[in-house]
A and B are shown apart, each in its own frame.
Chain A
C-alpha cells in the first residue's frame, strides 16, 4: 500500500529537478520545425509575384478559402489581379502549395494569427506578398 505511493512521489520529485517540458510562451519562442504549415506567403521573382493565376489552388482547396481573379498585363501575360485567402476558413492543409505548378505559394513559420476584426483575417495579395 505504501510502496506505490512512495514510487509515485519519487517520479514527481524527480521531475522537480528536470528541465520543464512546457514552453513559457510568449517570453520563450518555440523552435518551429521544417515543414511546419503556417501563414501563406506569395513568392516573388524579378520583383513580381510568381503566381500566374492558374486557379489550381482554389480548385484543390478543401476549405474553399482562396479567391483568385486573373488579369492580363501589358505583355498579354496572365497574372493574379486578385489573390485572397480567408484565414478563418483555412485549415492549413498545404494542398495549395502542393498544387502550385510554379512554386508561387509557400507556407511560412508564422503561426501567431490572432487578430481583432474579421476583415483582418482576409489576407489580400499585398499582405501575402509582404513577407518575402
Chain B
C-alpha cells in the first residue's frame, strides 16, 4: 500500500493505482473525458490535470500518473481550474453546439463539464468540422463533427471487443476517428463504442430522437437473451422500452453488452406482440377473454389429471425461476405427470446428465469469474464467442491482459481463433468426444495424470483405442494440448451448450470433465469446466427441475408421443419447437396431431399458430423474478413497464391454472422464491432482497468421478458436405428475430461455405442455394468465407423461414448436398 495526501485527505491505495484511482477511492471527483476504468490509461484529454507538491512547476495528468509514497496532491487550485477551462474552450472551438438535437445531451460529459466549469465564453474562433456523417450502417450513427478525440471507441473496440473497427486517421487538425478505408462502419455492432462515447459522436440509431436522457426511467434488470446473465439498465418512457443504458458499474462485465443485449430490446414493444388470448373456433384462432381461454385450458388439464401420462408440458428456459418452479409444481405435483422438459431435451443434458455423472451436481462446476483467473483456456468450438459474446469479451481480456493461454478445439474457425497466441485445432465435425478421449489418452500416455484419481483404470481401458487419428487431428497436436493442459497452473474448459449444438451433450460433458479430473484441473479458482447454458435461465430451468426425473418423457419423446397419440394435451410455455427442435416436418406433424395444445408466448410463433389456445405472455421487462445465469449466478429481474395489452406473466397464468386445479396459489412471485429457497438445496438462504443488484453465485460441492464417454464415430458420406448448426453472433434462440437491431444486421438464414467448396459448386456470396439432406431441403442464402473448413457447411438455427431444422434430425452432423438454386 502507498500512502498519499489528496486535498488534505490521507489515503492509502495499492501501489499500481494512479492518482485518479486514489482520488476516487477517497471520494474526490477528478473530471475526465478520455479515461475509462475498463481501459488502459490514455492521458489524452488533459481534463484530469492536478498539482503535485513534489512535481511543482507543471500540472500532472491524474489518470496516467502512478501514486508514490508521500505524494501531496491538489485537485482544484485556481491554476488547475484555469487549465481545465482552457481545455474545454479548445474542445468547444470545434464541437458543434447542437445539444438541442443531440441525443447525448443530458448524458454528455462535455456538456456537464462545460456547465460545471462555467465555460460560457470562448476567446478563440475557428470553423467547425465538416465531416460526412455515417448514416450507412443500421445501428450506429457516426457524426465525427462532434468527436472530441478521446479515443475511447477505438480502445474499447481493440482492448475488450478485439474487433478493431476504429483508429485515428490523418494528422494534426485533420485527425479524426476513422474506420476501414474511412468507409461506413461494418463491424459486429456490439455498440460498446456508443456506450463509452463521452459526447454524441456515436449514437444508437434505434434510439435516435426517441427521448431525451432526462425523461427516461431507468430500471436495472438482467438481459433475457443468452445465458451469460449480463445486467442491463432499461431506459423506459410511457410504458415503452426505448433503449438500454450503459452503466459501467453493473455486473461482472462492467456494463459491456453485445449486439442483442444493447440493440435487441425492441421485441418488448414489437407490434407483433400478442395482446389478447386466442382460442381456436371453427379451425381459426379468434380473440377471446382470459376467462374463456383459461376455462378451456383448465378443463382440459383437469380432465388430464385422471390420465396424467397423456399430459405433457414444455417450457422455455427464458422464464424466471419462480415461473419455472410453479410450472414444475403444477405439472409434476398437481397434475401428476413427469412429462416435462425444456430446450429440446438435449440442450440441457450436459448439465442434467453430464455434470451430474462427472461432478455430482446439475450445474456448471466453474463460474464466469474463473475465465480471467485461469492460466489456460480450452474452448470447445470457436462458437463460444457467438453463443455468449460477453463471456467472449472476458476471454479476450484474459488473453490480452492477464496472459491467459488460449487453445481452441473446433470444427471451424472464428473470432476467438484470431486472438493473440490462440492455437486452434480444427477437427472433423462431430468428433468432439473422440478428441477429448484422445486428449485423456494422451495425458495418461504421457504420464501426466494426477495421482490417485479413482476410476483411472476404467477410463484407461475405455480410451485405449482413442487415437488422435480417430478425432481427425494430428497426434502432435493432441499431445501438445494434453501436455499444456495438464501442466498449466490453472486450466479451464469452456463448453457452450444449446439447441444449435446437439453434439454438446452428456457424453461430451463427461469427456471434457474426464480431462479436467484426470489432470486435477477442477475444484479450484480458474480451473474446471464452465458449461454455458444457452438461454438466460438455462441453469435455472435445470435447478427448478424442468426435465423428466423419473419415467417421464423427454422433449423428443413428447413430440413422438404427440405424433402417436399417447400425449393428448400439450402445454407449451414459450418454446417454439417448430423452429428450434430437430426435424421440423416431424414436429409439425406431431403438433397437428395432438388433441389439445396450449401455447403461452409473446408472439404468434410458428408453434403458437398451431395451438388450440394461445395465451399472451409478457417479456422480461414486464415482470419481476430471478434468472440463474451460467456459472450459477442468481440475479434479480425487475419490472420496468406495465404489461402490453392484456398480456399476463407466465406466473399469473400458471398461478390461476394451479388454483383452478386445486393446487397451490401464491399472492406474488416473491412467495415462490421463498419456497424455492426452502425446497431447492442450492438456493438455501437466498432471498430476492438479499440478491441486491449484484446477485449471488450459489456454491456447489463437487464429487468428481471419471465417467468414460463413448465416442460416436462420425461417418462422412462421400461427395456430401457436413452441415453443422449453431448460433449466429447477432441472435439467440428464436426470440431475437423480433428485435429490430439483430434483424437489421442479420435478417435471414444463411449457409456458410468454404471458398473452395463454393468455387467447386459455382456458388457466390449471396446466391440462393438449396441445401438437401435425407430429412428435407431448404433454401437459404450462401455465405462464402474461409471460416469453415473445406467440406463443412455452417448454418444458424434461429430463423423461421429457411429454418435449418427442416434438414436436421438431431444428429451432431448432417450430411447434405448444396446446389445453386
Q: Which residues of A contact B (CB under 8 A)?
A: 52-56, 59, 70-72, 76-78, 101-102
Contact = CB atoms under 8 A, between A and B. Distances in A.
A123 B105 CA distance: 28
Interface string B97-139: 0011100010000000000000000000000000001010000
Contacts of B100: 52, 54, 56, 78, 101-102
B106 to A, nearest CB: 9
Chain A interface SS verdict (over half): loop
A71 B141 CA distance: 16
Nearest to B212: A55
B208 interface: yes
Given A77-B101, A102-B100, 7 more contacts: A52-B100, A52-B101, A70-B209, A72-B209, A76-B133, A76-B135, A76-B141
Interface string B621-664: 00000000000000000000000000000000000000000000
B209 A59 contact: no
17 contacts: A52-B100, A53-B209, A54-B105, A54-B212, A55-B215, A56-B100, A59-B214, A70-B209, A71-B209, A72-B208, A72-B209, A76-B135, A77-B101, A78-B101, A78-B209, A101-B99, A101-B100
Contacts of A101: 99-100
A54 B101 contact: yes
Contacts of B211: 55
Interface string B487-518: 00000000000000000000000000000000
Contacts of A56: 100
A31 B30 CA distance: 57
Contacts of B214: 59
Contacts of A76: 133, 135, 141
Interface residues of B, number: 14
A71 B208 CA distance: 9
A56 B101 CA distance: 11
Interface in B82-101: 99-101
Indicate the member of B135, B141, B211, B212 with the most A CB atoms within 10 Å: B212
Interface string B210-222: 1110110000000
Contacts of B135: 76
Contacts of B105: 54
A55 B100 CA distance: 8
A8 B368 CA distance: 95
A58 to B, nearest CB: 8
Specify the main secondary structure of chain B where it touches its partner.
loop
Interface string B31-70: 0000000000000000000000000000000000000000
B7 to A, nearest CB: 35
Contacts of B101: 52-54, 77-78
Contacts, number: 31
Contact of B215 (A59, A72, A77, A102): A59
Nearest to A54: B100
Most buried by A among B99, B101, B208, B214: B101
A98 B215 CA distance: 20
Contacts of B133: 76
A38 B101 CA distance: 28
Nearest to B105: A54
Nearest to B133: A76
A54 to B, nearest CB: 3
Interface string B557-573: 00000000000000000
Contacts of A55: 211-212, 215
A53 B101 CA distance: 7
Contacts of B208: 72
A76 B99 CA distance: 16
A76 B214 CA distance: 23
A7 B71 CA distance: 88
A76 B141 CA distance: 10
B540 to A, nearest CB: 39
A52, A70, A77 interface centre (most CB from chain B within 10 Å)? A70
Contacts of A59: 212, 214-215
Interface string B192-232: 00000000000000001111101100000000000000000
Contacts of B210: 70
A82 to B, nearest CB: 12
B184 to A, nearest CB: 14
A123 B133 CA distance: 35
A101 to B, nearest CB: 5
Nearest to A51: B100
A60 to B, nearest CB: 11
Pairs A-B, 6 closest by C-beta atoms = A54-B100, A70-B209, A78-B101, A55-B212, A101-B100, A52-B101
B123 to A, nearest CB: 23
Nearest to B103: A78
Nearest to A76: B135
A76 B208 CA distance: 10
Nearest to B211: A55
A123 to B, nearest CB: 21
A72 B99 CA distance: 16
B723 to A, nearest CB: 42
Nearest to A58: B215
Interface in B649-690: none
B135 to A, nearest CB: 6
Contacts of A54: 99-101, 105, 212
A130 B135 CA distance: 34
A121 B522 CA distance: 72
A23 B209 CA distance: 49
A54 B133 CA distance: 20
B447 to A, nearest CB: 67
Contacts of A102: 100
A77 B210 CA distance: 13
A101 B99 CA distance: 9
Contacts of A70: 209-210
Nearest to A102: B100
A76 B135 CA distance: 8
Interface string B533-545: 0000000000000
A26 B73 CA distance: 73
A22 B209 CA distance: 51
Interface string B328-360: 000000000000000000000000000000000
A67 B786 CA distance: 53
Nearest to B213: A55
Nearest to A78: B101
A77 B214 CA distance: 21
A102 to B, nearest CB: 6
Nearest to B98: A52
Interface in B131-177: 133, 135, 141
A56 to B, nearest CB: 7
Nearest to A71: B209
A51 to B, nearest CB: 10
B188 to A, nearest CB: 24
Nearest to B97: A101
B815 to A, nearest CB: 49
A102 B211 CA distance: 19
Contacts of A71: 209
A102 B98 CA distance: 10
Scoring B100, B133, B208, B212 by chain A CB atoms within 10 A of each residue's CB, the highest score goes to B100
A129 B210 CA distance: 23
Nearest to A53: B209
A54 B209 CA distance: 9
A90 B281 CA distance: 51
Contacts of A52: 100-101
Contacts of B212: 54-55, 59
A76 B133 CA distance: 10
Contacts of B141: 76
A130 B141 CA distance: 35
A102 B214 CA distance: 20
